[in-house]
Structure 1
Amino acid sequence: MVTYVGFLRAINLGVKRKFPKDAIVAATQAAGFTNAATHINTGNVRFDTAMRSRARIEAALERAYEASQGFEVPTIVFTQAELCDIAAEADRLGDGHAGRHYVSLLKDPPAPAQARAIEERSTPEERVHVAGRAVHLLLGENYHEATLSNAAVEKVLGVATNRNVTVIRALRQKWC
Structure 2
Amino acid sequence: MTRHIALLRAVNVGGTGKLPMEELRAICAEIGFEDVKTYIASGNVVFSSPLDQEAVKHKLEARLTAYAGKPQAVLVRSGAEMAQVLADNPFPEAAPNRVVAIFLDGPPPVDTIEAATHRKDEEIALGKREIYVHYGEGMGQSKLKIPAAGKGTARNINTIAKLVEMARL
- State the TM bucket, normalised to the shorter chain: 0.7 to 0.9
What is the distance in 1 between the residues matched to 2:55 and 2:78?
Answer: 14
What is the distance in 2 between the residues matched to 1:57 and 1:34?
Answer: 12
Whether contact under 8 Å (1:108, 1:158) holds in the other structure is: no
Give, in angstroms, the shift of residue 105 of structure 1.
Answer: 0.6
Whether contact under 8 Å (1:11, 1:73) holds in the other structure is: no
Give, in angstroms, the shift of residue 88 of structure 1.
Answer: 1.2
Structure 1 portions without partners, runs of 5+: none
Structure 2 portions without partners, runs of 5+: none
Runs of 4+ in 1 over 3 A off after TM superposition: 120-124
Provide the residue aligned with 1:24 in structure 2. Answer: 24
Whether contact under 8 Å (2:101, 2:131) holds in the other structure is: yes
1:24-173 matches, cutoff 5 A: 24-52=24-52, 54-90=53-89, 93-97=90-94, 100-110=98-108, 114-115=109-110, 117-120=111-114, 121=116, 125-149=121-145, 152=146, 155-156=147-148, 159-173=151-165
What is the distance in 2 between the residues matched to 1:124 and 1:11?
Answer: 27
TM-score in terms of structure 1 length: 0.82
Give, in angstroms, the shift of residue 17 of structure 1.
Answer: 1.9
Q: Cα RMSD (Å) of the superposition?
A: 2.3
Q: Output the amino acid matched with 1:166.
A: N
Length, aligned pairs only: 165
What is the distance in 1 between the residues matched to 2:160 and 2:38?
Answer: 13
Aligned partner of residue 94 in structure 1, secondary structure: coil
What is the distance in 2 between the residues matched to 1:5 and 1:95?
Answer: 22
